[in-house]
A and B are shown apart, each in its own frame.
Chain A
Amino acid sequence: MPDAFEPVIIGFTCNWCSYRAADLAGTARVKYPPNVRLIRLMCSGRLDPTFVLKALSSGADGVLITGCHPGECHYIEQNYKALRRYLLLHRVLEQMGIEPQRVKLVWASAAEGVRLAQEITTMIEEVRALGPLRWPTAAQNKGRQPVMAAQEAVR
């Protein structure tokens, strides 16, 4: 099946828990599909909803956000910020007509390599069932930069 749909999932991991979980899955040779592209952040609290919107509007079919379990954040409580942003963003995406399964939040400790691999696999199958997102702004949004104020201009 040369034309079978392979979802592209952008996965955000935190340096201290979920990235290490993914690493552990690798060292333990736990297999998960290659559809997820992992990006390491220092903390899930660094996750700006812009990243998610940029991914979805630039060609990704889904976004996976991962972080330390509640109460176990390396930066004390920044993963709660990630949780609040996720819940808020979910409501906005719903209003925009984007299926909720396309953006998912998963907590994974550094020991949970197997579980993270399972969660990744589950999400990929869910997104595969939904089909491609193909947001039409992909060409324009790649490399898009914010418009900046003229430094010497009239104010």
Chain B
Amino acid sequence: MSTNGSKPKFAMYWAASCGGCEIAVLNIHEKILVLDANYEVVFWPVAMDTKYKDVEAMPDGSIMLTLFNGGIRNSENEEMAHLLRRKTQYLVAFGSCACEGCIPGLANLSTPQQIFDTAYQTVSTDNPQNVRPQFTWTAPEGDLHIPAFYPVLKTLDQVVPVDYYMPGCPPESHQIAAVLDLILAARRGETSLPPKGSVIGAGSTTVCDECPRQRNVKTITRFTRIQDVAPVDPDLCLLEQGVPCNGPATRNGCGARCPRVGAQCIGCYGPAEGVLDYGARLMTAFASVIDAKEPAEIERILDGIPDLVGQFYRFNLAGSLLRASKAAWAAQQAQQED
């Protein structure tokens, strides 16, 4: 690592996420050397040993680019979002969690009590004393605190202003490399940066647009899981085969990787261009192609999708219009009143 002061500074941070985004960055292969040659990496918990106080000591705005992945699950995540926002020129909501909540955001259907019951008290959990996390604990040495758990997980832009969004779970590696190059090219004055607040490293249409499968007029008489379709037609639109494929509402940029290899799109690139609520767009799309007019028959077809919020908001619940279930919001408001 160079300490050359003329190189722009780079940081990457993970909040509530799985670590897949970090792997996606490492997956840019030899371009990682370009990253090291052209940026000074000042903060990246997964790759180097730095402390939060090191970031606090940096001058405001001194980090050129921060890739922030993960949702805001607790007070530590929120504190880091504010700190990195202060220190960073270009703060990128990197990956689905930071952009729209992703899988951790699905917990917004549940209350903290339900989440902790699942984590600490199911049959597969060895916890005979039913130990639960305590947010404050009085030890002989003094009071200990761990970060407060938020009942409603937030996206990065619900906490701090975000300069750019890079969707994907995780973002495709070639696009990560392209974004790193773009920032460098803009710094050399060879190009200008896109307007703040826009999506970069992704397309502006839908996954269907990049999907090679043949599409016809859709008339759906049943929805079913893909493993129950035998055999799956390799060339025909999956939705037409009754497989709930999220392509119609999902932003392109991945090259339709999943449908190309016979798996339905699950929507990790988030809402397509102009879509305010991802799930609502999918509801529109799916309901339009159901071939039934009688309520009972429509209900029977809808029974084929047992978990509708899981289907329509798998990656997007925290970024949707409603953001969380009524019960989770009630818990959030109770916490705020405490």
Q: If A92-B308, A154-B181 touch, does A87 touch B302 (CB 8 Å cutoff)?
A: yes
Q: Give the residues in chain A near B192, CB-CB below 8 Å.
A: 152
- Select from chain B the residue with minimum beta-carbon distance to A78: B288
- Select from chain A the residue with minimum beta-carbon distance to B275: A146
Decide if B281 touches A154 in the complex (CB within 8 Å): no
Q: Give the residues in chain B near A141, CB-CB below 8 Å.
A: 321
Q: Which of B62-110 contact A (CB under 8 A)?
A: 109
A67 CB → nearest B CB, Å: 13
CA A155 to CA B251, docked complex, whole Å:
12
Interface stretch (choices A17-25, A93-101, A121-129): A93-101
Q: If A89-B283, A147-B199, A154-B200 touch, does A140 touch B158 (CB 8 Å cutoff)?
A: yes
Q: Which of B264-309 contact A (CB under 8 A)?
A: 271, 273-277, 279-281, 283-284, 286-288, 290, 292-293, 295, 298-299, 302, 307-309
User: B175 within 8 Å of A by Cβ?
Assistant: yes
- B281 interface neighbour in A50, A70, A83, Cβ under 8 Å: A50
The number of residue pairs between A and B whose CB atoms lie closer than 8 Å in the complex comes to: 144
CA A93 to CA B279, docked complex, whole Å:
11
CA A141 to CA B324, docked complex, whole Å:
14
Q: Which of A36-88 contact B (CB under 8 A)?
A: 48-50, 52-54, 56-57, 70, 77, 80-81, 83-85, 87-88
User: B121 within 8 Å of A by Cβ?
Assistant: no
Chain B's interface size range is: 35 or more
User: B221 within 8 Å of A by Cβ?
Assistant: no
Decide if A149 touches B202 in the complex (CB within 8 Å): yes
User: A144 within 8 Å of B by Cβ?
Assistant: yes
Decide if A96 touches B325 in the complex (CB within 8 Å): yes
CA A101 to CA B275, docked complex, whole Å:
27
Decide if B295 touches A87 in the complex (CB within 8 Å): yes
- Select from chain B the residue with minimum beta-carbon distance to A89: B283
B170 CB → nearest A CB, Å: 16
Q: Which of B166-200 contact A (CB under 8 A)?
A: 175, 178-179, 181-182, 192, 194-195, 197-200
Q: Which of A112-155 contact B (CB under 8 A)?
A: 135-137, 140-141, 144-155
Q: If A137-B323, A148-B199, A155-B203 touch, does A87 touch B298 (CB 8 Å cutoff)?
A: yes
6 contacts between A and B (CB under 8 A): A70-B293, A84-B292, A88-B302, A92-B309, A95-B309, A97-B326
9 new A-B contacts, CB < 8 A, other than A85-B284, A95-B109, are: A50-B280, A54-B276, A87-B295, A88-B286, A137-B323, A144-B321, A147-B165, A149-B200, A152-B192
State the B residues within 8 Å of A (CB).
Answer: 109, 158, 164-165, 175, 178-179, 181-182, 192, 194-195, 197-204, 251, 253, 271, 273-277, 279-281, 283-284, 286-288, 290, 292-293, 295, 298-299, 302, 307-309, 312, 320-323, 325-327, 329, 332-333
